[in-house]
Amino acid sequence: MKELSTRTTLPVLPIQSEVLFPELGMPLVITRSASMAAVEVALSSEDKSIAIFTQKSADIDDPGEKDLYDVGTMAVIKKMVRFDHAFRLEVHGVSRIKHLGMVLSKPYLNSNLRYLPELSDIGTEIEALQREMIELATKMFSLVNPQIQLNLSFILSNVEKPVSQAYLLATLLSLDVEKSMLILSANTQRELYELMNGYLHHEIQVLELRHQISSQVESKLGREQREYLLRQQLRIIQEELGEERPEQADVTELRQKLEKAELPEKVHKEVEKELNRLERMSAVSPDYQLTRTYVELAIELPWTQSTEDQLDLDHSQKILDEDHFDLKDVKQRIVEHLAVMKLNPSAKAPILCFVGPPGVGKTSVGQSIARAMGRKFERMSLGGLHDEAELRGHRRTYIGAMPGRIIQAIRRAGVRNPLLMLDEIDKLGRDFRGDPAAALMEILDPAQNFDFHDNYLDMPFDLSKVFFITTANTLDNIPKPLLDRMEVMRLAGYSDEEKAQIARLYLIPRRLEEAGLNSEKLSINNEALSYIIRRYTREAGVRELERTIGSIARKIATRVARGDDAAVIINPDMLVDILGPEHFYAEQARQSLAAGVAAGLAWTEVGGDVLYIEAALLAEGKELTLTGQLGDVMQESAKAARSYIWANAETLKIDTAKIRKSGVHIHVPAGAVPKDGPSAGITMAAALASLYLDRPVRNDTAMTGEITLSGLVLPVGGVKEKILAAHRAGIRRIILPKENKKDLTELPEHVQQALDFVFVERIDEALLAAIVSISDASTEQKAVVV
């Protein structure tokens, strides 16, 4: 058999970016004229052989010998189709070749070549390398796509020779030209496999990294997409079942509510608009909840609903009397208002401010008023409120926006004319977020509050029918413009007798009921009650008293529950057993006063108090020392008192040398409590006069009043509390500025009876009334005794 010529000169077909390996096929499209000429020559040979070399750079159009790698592949053209300006070929690699030199035979190249031997080195190591290659390739393809794995073993089984398998893998890996050329140029199997294993390793690492990254991205995307898909499916299922979407059901329900609610036309329109928006929204959108809450609020607000006022004056009066003892002013004011309402139904509601110490019943009187008038009662505490938005609401654009407390209270009340109690208005805070007091001014002004504008609601709401009552412990902290809008009603503290009455009428029955007892099982006699009031409580109101009574009731209830059913009447002797030792020693009038000590009267937020002002002479000292946490006003008042005494030493028969040569120290106990105000001026003057004269002040006398340097006595505040405190302490005689005489009408009858009042206009009158020897010695009794 004659061998086919193993020709050593073949036409050259340069290819770009690809490498043809032996035993593998490759489709090619030839367009370059030189290449087409080379192919024509190959096709007209009897063996259709051609030399295929890869270009070193893909960019070169007309490559010469130097532009080609020197190792290539002898190939046979298996199929060919001619087009106008191109050939499509299928070539099949047959053998590795190396060109020894090229001849340009216009227009193509001819190569003088040498056939490279087959890779024939063998050994166990080579076999191990080859198996490693197959394993790596399997792993790699499983990373690309698990399905290819099956195909790979099939593909590889078609290629018998391991070397050819390596070439096949190199093609499948689509390595770049340089790496492919290294593979093709490998002259031993060992070299070939080592190269391949290196490339496979690298490829696996890259793939693993890619997997890691893409799986991270996928898991992120996955959740949201899943949710979206599920929702879409849910929607389709619901449509299929003929069910409404939940949001649609929501809107329908709201629309029904809207039709039922009697809203003003403007509001109706606005709500309708919001509802239409809501209808188009998806329930997942964050705006949905926001709009829904808003619509609900707008529908639920009592735009037109109101309660009918209870205008039977006698009935109202009865209710007020039932609920509270005394408080005549307040009750009277309410009844007056009801009378006005009866005659003029469109009258504006007054805005009241109840001022008084804790526990005097400010809040509960509010509840009682609501009951008497037949109005809904809502209360909110303003204590510590420091953000204007709390009152007026946040704009709807904010996340978590809510209507203000006022609108919320109205909504809770369900009517537009409730009695709205704003507690602790004197404890409003303020900071950089705004001043709630300023917002309150709009709310509490009947001329403005008919179109109160809540930021959240964004529609005016009429507050003019709301009966506002505010409460405060003191007026000092209320801004003046705000105070100006309110009608202030003082609820002063109660006297011991009033407390006893309150206890009898309200506290004891209530506490007995709470403890499950009745008046047959437990009663408290009068002495015990007043003992409790004096020795176990010290307050202007009755809270502590009520707690103490509650504590007695519980102790007795324990006894009854244990089986001791005997009726108990509490008398003072039993109190130590039940309540423990006395909590307070009553601010008893001191039995004897040394010279330089005078009883003053003080007003505190929890009622009045008696305080003894003590003065001591410091021989050879000079200064005036003041102690006892005195405020500026009180210190100045002390200086004025001293200067007055000094200036009038002669009239008062005081030795000026004594004043000049010695210092004086004034102390006001209790030293831990800060004190201020001018009302102790008269007391300090009395203490100093007594000191310099070395004659004591009368021990049954207390005094209060502001003084001037010229000797006038000016009126002071809190007289009722002060007198009640003096009365409690056992003082019999009180020196007051003449202008405070009118305040005595506030006092209970029995207190007025029990005390002597001395009204003074000038300090010397007060001193005469206060200091024993002067008043005794004086034939001219200037002071007026009532």
Partner 1 sequence: MTTQLSKLMQSLQELHGRSFRPAWQPAVDIYRGEKEWLIKIDLAGVRKEDIEVIGNDHFLTIKGQRRDLQIQEGHQTYSMEISYNRFERNLELPVDVKDASMQIDYQDGMLFIRIQTEEKP
Structure tokens at 737: 């500025």
- The stretch among 94-102, 337-345, 432-440, 716-724 that binds partner 1 (CB under 8 A) is 94-102
Pick the binder of partner 1 from 44, 158, 219, 592 (CB under 8 A).
44
Residue closer to partner 1 by CB (options 49, 473) is 49
Pick the binder of partner 1 from 1, 241, 399, 672 (CB under 8 A).
1
Task: Considering only residues 668 through 727, tell me which ones interact with partner 1, judged by CB under 8 A.
Answer: none
**Which residues lie closer than 8 Å to 584 by C-beta, 6 or more apart?**
534, 535, 536, 537, 538
Residue closer to partner 1 by CB (options 95, 455) is 95
Collapse the DSSP code of 313 into the 3-class scheme (helix H, G, I; strand E, B; otherwise coil) and give the result.
Answer: helix
Q: Of 368, 679, 690, 775, which one is the catalytic site residue?
A: 679
Residue closer to partner 1 by CB (options 23, 462) is 23
Shortest Cβ 45–partner 1 spacing (Å)? 8
- Asked if residues 68 and 28 have their Cβ atoms less than 8 Å apart, the reply is no
Pick the binder of partner 1 from 7, 40, 128, 576 (CB under 8 A).
40
Query: Distances from the Cα of 714 to the Cαs of 59, 639, 645, 741, in angstroms?
Result: 112, 16, 17, 12
Interface with partner 1, residue 93, by CB under 8 A:
yes
Interface with partner 1, residue 45, by CB under 8 A:
yes
**Which residues lie closer than 8 Å to 350 by C-beta, 6 or more apart?**
333, 337, 467, 487
Which run of H or of E encompasses 29? strand 25-30
Pick the binder of partner 1 from 16, 32, 37, 48 (CB under 8 A).
48
Instruction: Annotate each residue in 112-141 with x if it binds partner 1 (CB under 8 A) or - if it does not, as one string.
Output: --xxxxx-x---------------------
Identify the CA nearest to 162 among candidates 198, 188, 182.
188
Instruction: Annotate each residue in 153-172 with x if it binds partner 1 (CB under 8 A) or - if it does not, as one string.
Output: -----------x--------
Shortest Cβ 207–partner 1 spacing (Å)? 31
- The stretch among 90-98, 328-336, 339-347, 655-663 that binds partner 1 (CB under 8 A) is 90-98
Which one-letter DSSP state was computed for residue 630? B
At residue 662, what is the residue type?
S
Residue closer to partner 1 by CB (options 64, 107) is 107
Interface with partner 1, residue 779, by CB under 8 A:
no
Shortest Cβ 117–partner 1 spacing (Å)? 3
Strands (E), 392-535: 419-423, 452-453, 460-461, 467-472, 487-490, 522-524
Which run of H or of E encompasses 720? helix 719-729
Structure tokens at 691: 């000191």
The label of the residue with tokens 């190199």 reads: 170
Instruction: Annotate each residue in 213-252 with x if it binds partner 1 (CB under 8 A) or - if it does not, as one string.
Output: ----------------------------------------
- Asked if residues 704 and 736 have their Cβ atoms less than 8 Å apart, the reply is yes
Instruction: Annotate each residue in 523-562 with x if it binds partner 1 (CB under 8 A) or - if it does not, as one string.
Output: ----------------------------------------
Q: b or e along 376-404 (b: 16 or more beta carbons within 10 Å of the residue's beta carbon)?
A: bbbbbebeebebbbbbbbbebeeeebbbb
Structure tokens at 735: 């020196």
- The stretch among 92-100, 146-154, 387-395, 459-467 that binds partner 1 (CB under 8 A) is 92-100
Shortest Cβ 189–partner 1 spacing (Å)? 13
Pick the binder of partner 1 from 18, 23, 296, 300 (CB under 8 A).
23
Identify the CA nearest to 418 among candidates 476, 455, 379.
379
Pick the binder of partner 1 from 37, 86, 94, 574 (CB under 8 A).
94
**Which residues lie closer than 8 Å to 493 by C-beta, 6 or more apart?**
356, 357, 360, 539, 540, 541, 606, 607, 608, 720, 721, 724
Residue closer to partner 1 by CB (options 96, 511) is 96
Pick the binder of partner 1 from 79, 226, 412, 433 (CB under 8 A).
79
Residue closer to partner 1 by CB (options 191, 300) is 191
Q: Of 376, 675, 720, 722, which one is the catalytic site residue?
A: 722
Structure tokens at 257: 């509510």
Interface with partner 1, residue 371, by CB under 8 A:
no
Interface with partner 1, residue 22, by CB under 8 A:
yes
Pick the binder of partner 1 from 7, 82, 226, 231 (CB under 8 A).
82
Residue closer to partner 1 by CB (options 115, 584) is 115
**Which residues lie closer than 8 Å to 461 by C-beta, 6 or more apart?**
301, 303, 407, 410, 416, 451, 452, 453, 454
Active site residue 722: yes
Interface with partner 1, residue 511, by CB under 8 A:
no
Structure tokens at 108: 């193509």
**Which residues lie closer than 8 Å to 77 by C-beta, 6 or more apart?**
39, 42, 43, 48, 50, 89, 90, 91
User: What CA dihedral angle connects 408, 414, 420 and 425, to 10 degrees?
Assistant: -10
Give the integer Cα–Cα distance in Å for 670 and 677: 16
Phi, psi values for residue 562, rounded to 5°: -80, -5
Interface with partner 1, residue 54, by CB under 8 A:
no
Shortest Cβ 48–partner 1 spacing (Å)? 5
Interface with partner 1, residue 86, by CB under 8 A:
no
The label of the residue with tokens 């070395």 reads: 694
- Asked if residues 491 and 356 have their Cβ atoms less than 8 Å apart, the reply is yes
Pick the binder of partner 1 from 27, 46, 286, 592 (CB under 8 A).
46
Shortest Cβ 17–partner 1 spacing (Å)? 24
Task: Considering only residues 273 through 302, tell me which ones interact with partner 1, judged by CB under 8 A.
Answer: none
Residue closer to partner 1 by CB (options 119, 688) is 119
Interface with partner 1, residue 750, by CB under 8 A:
no
Residue closer to partner 1 by CB (options 82, 273) is 82
Interface with partner 1, residue 7, by CB under 8 A:
no
Identify the CA nearest to 200 among candidates 221, 220, 183, 177.
183
- The stretch among 79-87, 123-131, 605-613, 719-727 that binds partner 1 (CB under 8 A) is 79-87
Give the integer Cα–Cα distance in Å for 8 and 12: 12
Shortest Cβ 85–partner 1 spacing (Å)? 14
Residue closer to partner 1 by CB (options 161, 318) is 161
Interface with partner 1, residue 111, by CB under 8 A:
no
In the chain, the N- to C-terminal Cα span, in Å, equals 161
Pick the binder of partner 1 from 16, 32, 56, 80 (CB under 8 A).
80
Residues binding partner 1: number (CB under 8 A): 33
Give the integer Cα–Cα distance in Å for 642 and 657: 14
Pick the binder of partner 1 from 81, 236, 284, 709 (CB under 8 A).
81
Residue closer to partner 1 by CB (options 121, 239) is 121
Active site residue 592: no
Shortest Cβ 97–partner 1 spacing (Å)? 10
Residue closer to partner 1 by CB (options 77, 736) is 77
- For residue 283, the tally of other CB atoms under 10 A from its CB is 14
Instruction: Annotate each residue in 58-77 with x if it binds partner 1 (CB under 8 A) or - if it does not, as one string.
Output: ------------------xx
Omega within 30 of 0 (cis) for the link into 670: yes
Interface with partner 1, residue 100, by CB under 8 A:
no
Give the integer Cα–Cα distance in Å for 785 and 759: 7
List of residues contacting partner 1 (CB under 8 A): 1-2, 4, 6, 22-23, 40, 43-49, 76-82, 92-96, 114-118, 120, 164
Catalytic (active-site) positions: 679, 722
